Every structure is written in structure tokens, then in C-alpha cells.
A and B are shown apart, each in its own frame.
Chain A
């Protein structure tokens, strides 16, 4: 069932809402919050993993959106525009509470190893199938979330922005204030690290090479 409160608006309704916002109509801001707040909070929660911080980020995002309403040219959908603002507000929040333990060393341990020839140092084993049973699947998803949480934020955030929020490398680079290449490398390394963390779950523990 579609939740009417958080369902995205049609293009015509968006245009009408924007007109009302710009005209300063009393209920327009509340309509905007109710229509898009749920989806923005989802994105904030995925990045921040803390309900209280996600609420703060949503509030900051709406205030920031309202202040920049005049510069919104309507080239993107309102939902897309607000989604990006929510991500930006979440990243600001994240930066303010960054842990000191975000080191690259812990990620290095999770990268694949190669022999000097460039071949894999150990044989790679095919993963077993994903479970079909809904309960097992939900349990697997919980495990995946735990593994994602173990990644340092420097790598976890580009992975979430890329593979969950659907941002391009260019958008991630702009949000994080890094080069496109750095954003791309971080997301790739995060996927590789996560692959290593998930590996034991799929019965694909490395087999030692035969002597």
C-alpha cells in the first residue's frame, strides 16, 4: 500500500506547491514537509544510523531548502532536489561527529591479496545462493547492515551514496568535496571490503592453495 503522506507529488502538483511556497501561502511549507519528509528521513537515517541525528538533519534540510527556494530553477524534480539537500545536511552532521578511528589501515586488511605476478594470492570460491525464505533473507539483510556499519565512514558514506541513494561519482565528489577519482576509488574499495566481510556468510572461505 502506498503511503499517501509520503507518496511523491505529480509534476503539476509540484508546480502548484512551488507557486504557493513562493507566494508565502500559510500551509504550503507544511504540505512540502509532509510530502517529502519521510523519504528525506530515510536517506538521512541510512547515512547517520541514529534517529535523533536523522531528525536534526531533516529539519536542517528543510530550513536550508526554504532559504534557497528562489534559486531552485525547477530543472530537477522537487523530490530529487530535496533528497540532495537531505544528503548534504546529513553529511554536515556526520562531519561534526566524525570518529577518530576512521583509518584506511582497517580497510586495507579487507582488500584482496595478489601474488607478485598479479594473480590472486588465493583461489576465489563461488558464493552460495541467496536464501529464498523471507525470514532468512531478512536475517541476511540485517547481517549486511552490520557489515556496512563496520566500514569506516570515509568509505561507508560513498558506498551508501552510490549503491543505495543512486548518486553518480560526480555528485558524490561534489557532496564530499573530493575529486571524482577519489570518490570513485572510495566507493570501489568499500564494495571490495564489504565483499570480504560478507564472504564467510556465503561459505566462500578462502581455500588454501594446494602445496
Chain B
């Protein structure tokens, strides 16, 4: 089994879509390849679900240094979480861009609105 294949197959094991032969090849590869064994350890230290649940804290820099390090070693190795994180960040940037741009053409304060506000104010203060 190649390292590349291992890193695909090990995720299938986590998804529990695996047969005994695949499990055996993955075990054999991890026993012989320290880098892949480390990859698997980092994937198992924290589950993708936990990473995703606290992704806002990670993006906002609100995790403790220890927790952040655990997240980063998972994100360095887990292609699923890395792709999810990237799309999550793009989503935040896109909502900002889309709504700020949208408001520009329509936002102009019409003369009618200025007058309405001033009239309402006058009605409120005049006896």
C-alpha cells in the first residue's frame, strides 16, 4: 500500500465503510511507515466533528494554545477538515462582500426619507 492510498483508506475506516482486508493493509502500512502512523494518530486525537463544532473559535483565534495546536495538527493532516475550513472561511468572506456591495446602490438616502424623518421629529417635539 502506498502512503497516498493509506491516507485515503484511513478515512474510509473512520467512515466505517471498510472490509477486513482493507483494515489489515492499513494496519500493515502504519506499522511499517512512521509518517503514516503519525498521520493516523493526529486524525484520531480529535474527531472531525469536534473540529467542525468549534471552527468559529478556531477562525476567531479564541482557542487556548494547547487546543489550537491539536486543531492544527489535525487540520494539517485531515484533507476533509482542511477543505471544510477553507470553504467556511470563503463563506464568511463572501457574505461580507455580497451584502456590502448589495447595499451600495440602494442605500442612498432619498430626499423623501430625510423629509419624513424631519417631519416625524417635528410632530414629536411640537406641542
Number of A-B contacts (CB under 8 A): 168
Any B CB within 8 A of the CB of A144: yes
Residues from chain A with a CB closer than 8 A to the CB of B49 are: 114, 118-119
Q: For residues 63 through 111 of chain B, which have their beta carbon under 8 Å from a beta carbon of chain A?
A: 79-81, 83-84, 86-88, 90-92, 94-104, 106-110
Beta-carbon contact of A55 and B99 below 8 Å: no
CB distance from B13 to the nearest CB of A (A): 8
Given contacts A114-B48, A114-B49, A199-B87, contact A45 B107 (CB under 8 A): yes
Interface SS, B side: helix
Q: Is A15 on the interface with B (CB-CB < 8 A)?
A: no
Bound Cα distance from A126 to B94, whole angstroms:
16
Known: A66-B121, A141-B101. A118 touches B48 (CB 8 A): yes
Interface size on A, residues (CB 8 A): 63
SS class of chain A's interface: helix, strand, loop or mixed? helix
Q: Which residues of A118-172 have CB atoms within 8 Å of chain B's CB atoms?
A: 118-127, 130, 138, 140-142, 144-145, 148, 159-160, 163-164
Verify A124–B83 contact, CB threshold 8 A: yes
Q: Which residues of B contact A83 (CB under 8 A)?
A: none
B56 engages A127 (CB within 8 Å): no
Q: How far is the CB of B27 from chain A (nearest CB, A)?
A: 16
Does residue B52 face the partner (Cβ distance < 8 Å to A)? yes
**What are 26 A-B pairs at a CB distance below 8 A?**
A30-B114, A37-B113, A42-B103, A45-B106, A46-B99, A46-B103, A58-B113, A66-B121, A114-B47, A115-B16, A118-B14, A118-B47, A119-B11, A119-B43, A119-B80, A122-B15, A124-B84, A126-B86, A141-B101, A144-B95, A144-B97, A148-B99, A159-B95, A191-B56, A202-B87, A209-B15
